[in-house]
Chain A
């Protein structure tokens, strides 16, 4: 079971990072977005190829107003 931003997700194992982002309604060239899988930052260049493990913990972060 993939955990996406702290919540159980229907995303099947083996999905790519890019497909998860598309599912979230993000464009592939979306500005201000970063992804970590199991505590490792996944560079933008690897979003298309990086396949998620069956129990991957995925964090999708984006810009928010902050001090």
Chain B
């Protein structure tokens, strides 16, 4: 019989901030939560704030848009909500289609939010929102030369991920499937290959639909998961934020525990030794 953990010990195991230090380090910064949260799509700032709290996330993305456009008037309150939540802002370059626009947007974000971290997105196609690889590499190179900590949103191509890491990106953020599609991880094999091919943290970005997708990402060895639409557009965003938090923790623990190998045939879990012969 397996030794049973007392309920109290079990809680301690599941608590990422417990004595067991399993922090994620990105560019030297330690994070207890391995869940990054996108702020887009939440029905209200109140639900965003409560979802952040429930998710435990310490790093949340924010976009830059023209003042006065589409609700950007409320930006002051968004910045205040995020400051009150005590989270670190990770500005993105969402919507940029060229290296030039992405670099300029990152520089604007550095001014606006007083951070040199950027989630670099350079979109190549409006239907799939897949990254434009040559422009992405160009933008990453320029921003790194300008002192930015660059976290690029990339495809699930291990070669492109390695090129980005070799340039000096602080992490790579491969997509599981297209942004907002909720299709989960379409090519788990590639995600594993990426994990093996780079030394920097791998953050599964885009495509997460529900908690099991986040757990799978962590079981594959990803160092963190980024979720936006999956939480913001869930029927109950706050409840889903908690589910994602637990899924990321569970997936991480399972990865560290080392799963059993898959076999085609059964292996008895009870020994035959001493089996009665009638």
Contact = CB atoms under 8 A, between A and B. Distances in A.
A65 B64 CA distance: 8
Interface SS majority for chain B: mixed
Interface stretch (B74-82, B185-193, B258-266): B74-82
Contact of B179 (A39, A44, A67): A67
Contacts of A64: 62-65, 70-72, 75, 78
Contacts of B228: 67
A36 B62 contact: no
B113 A65 contact: no
Interface in A23-67: 24, 26, 30-36, 39, 41, 43-44, 59-67
Contact of B39 (A5, A33, A66): A66
Interface in B45-90: 48, 61-72, 75-76, 78-80, 83
Nearest to A31: B79
A63 B79 contact: yes
B107 interface: yes
Nearest to A65: B39
Q: Contact residue range for chain A?
A: 20 to 34
B92 A61 contact: no
B42 A34 contact: no
Nearest to A6: B66
A44 B67 CA distance: 16
A34 B75 contact: no
A36 B108 CA distance: 7
A41 B71 CA distance: 23
Given A24-B67, A30-B76, A65 B40 contact: yes
Nearest to A62: B75
B38 interface: yes
A67 B104 contact: no
Nearest to A60: B67
Contacts of A32: 75-76, 78-79, 112-113
Contacts of A36: 104, 108
A61 B94 contact: no
A30 B113 CA distance: 11
B6 interface: no
A62 B65 contact: yes
Nearest to B111: A34
Interface of B: 38-42, 48, 61-72, 75-76, 78-80, 83, 92, 94, 104, 107-113, 179-180, 228-229
24 contacts: A31-B112, A33-B67, A33-B112, A34-B108, A34-B111, A34-B112, A36-B104, A36-B108, A44-B111, A59-B108, A60-B66, A61-B112, A62-B65, A62-B75, A63-B62, A63-B63, A63-B64, A64-B71, A64-B78, A65-B41, A65-B42, A66-B61, A67-B40, A67-B61
